[in-house]
Amino acid sequence: MISGVFVLPSLITAANMGLGVYSMAASIRGEWHTAAWCTIVSILLDILDGRVARWTGSSSRFGVEFDSLADLVSFGIAPAFMMYLLVLKDYGRIGFALTVLYIICGALRLAKFNLKALAEEESSPYFIGLPIPAAGGILASFVILYDIWSGGKKARTIALVMKQIPIFFHLLPGIIFVLSVLMVSGLRYSSLKRMNLFKPRSLRAFLIMVLVCLMIYAYPQNTLFVVFVGYIASGIIEYLWRTYRLRRMAASRGS
């Protein structure tokens, strides 16, 4: 028994990793719906294990490293494997190169995060670079919608979102490249893990939470996709807005 290792958070992390492995097995069988939902559930477990560790006072360096290994499997290797078998294999060497690039960038993103954790830097409301669960989540949420669209399955859907699925499918090589770059970029993304969802700090935050919950209830698959798209776009929008403000400030000082 390793000293300082607490069982409950580690069990949740192990379940996260197990779902990543099961997602790959489902992808081999062509069960895209199952493979994608494994990734979505892994995101929930990834959020849960950190909160349980903090609630029980069992946070440790072992937990940080184990969590990163699980994240690499569930949000790096498994989604890349799924996208390769579903789409990228048809692009030959370019598709394989994009698959490897996505995994490497995900590993670099996690390594950079671990270095900050080991340095015991002060907690920040932002992540630097796109978190790998968000990258895996957008791919998984797309596959869920693609499975509904291509199979003609019955589901409550938003027509405007479903019309974009064929376009998204054809743009996937470029999208995977962009996700890879965003993971190792300097863009800032809100740290949802550090947000207290049970105690929203403003009426606006509370109303947004209620709206998202209602949308998930009414259109679960579509809402997941829209939420991931919005989160990924938020880092780009925040960067453009911050750059615009800095340029305006520089121009006003120079005038």
Distance CA 192, CA 44 (A): 12
Q: Decide which of 11 and 52 is more confident.
A: 11
Q: Which of left, alpha, beta for 30 (phi over 0: left; psi -120 to 50: alpha)?
A: left
pLDDT, position 55: 77
pLDDT, position 200: 54
Q: Decide which of 75 and 158 is more confident.
A: 75
For 200, the token pair is 């929203």
Nearest to 141 by CA among 223, 196, 77, 51: 223
Does residue 42 contact residue 75 with C-beta atoms inside 8 Å?
A: yes
Flag whether pLDDT at 251 surpasses 60: yes
Q: Decide which of 255 and 230 is more confident.
A: 230
Flag whether pLDDT at 2 surpasses 70: no
Phi, psi of 78 (to 5 degrees): -60, -50
Delimit the domains of the chain by residue range: 7-121+128-254
Average pLDDT in the chain: 86
Task: Work out the average pLDDT over 219-237.
Answer: 90
The burial of 215, by beta-carbon neighbours within 10 Å (0-12 exposed, 13-18 middle, 19 or more buried), is given as middle
pLDDT, position 72: 96
Flag whether pLDDT at 3 surpasses 50: no
pLDDT, position 1: 45
Task: Work out the average pLDDT over 62-86.
Answer: 93
> In 10 A of CB 112, how many CB atoms?
15
Highest mean pLDDT among 38-52, 58-72, 169-183, 222-236: 169-183
Flag whether pLDDT at 195 surpasses 60: no
Task: Work out the average pLDDT over 176-201.
Answer: 79
Task: Work out the average pLDDT over 167-179.
Answer: 95
Angle at 144 (CA atoms; ends 98, 156), nearest 5 degrees: 150
pLDDT tens figures, 94-132: 999 999 999 999 999 999 888 876 666 556 678 889 999
Flag whether pLDDT at 56 surpasses 80: no
Could you tell me the pLDDT band of residue 4, with boundaries at 50, 70 and 90?
Answer: very low
Flag whether pLDDT at 62 surpasses 50: yes
Distance CA 242, CA 238 (A): 6
Flag whether pLDDT at 193 surpasses 80: no
CATH number of this structure's domain 7-121+128-254, picked from the four choices 1.20.120, 1.10.760, 1.10.3470, 3.40.1350: 1.20.120
pLDDT tens figures, 5-36: 467 888 999 999 999 999 999 999 999 999 99
> Which residues, in sequence order, are bridge partners of residue 190?
126
pLDDT tens figures, 122-160: 566 788 899 999 999 999 999 999 998 887 777 787 888
pLDDT, position 86: 95
Burial 187-206 (b: 16+ CB within 10 A, else e): bbbeeeeeeeeeeeeeeeee
DSSP 198: T
pTM: 0.87
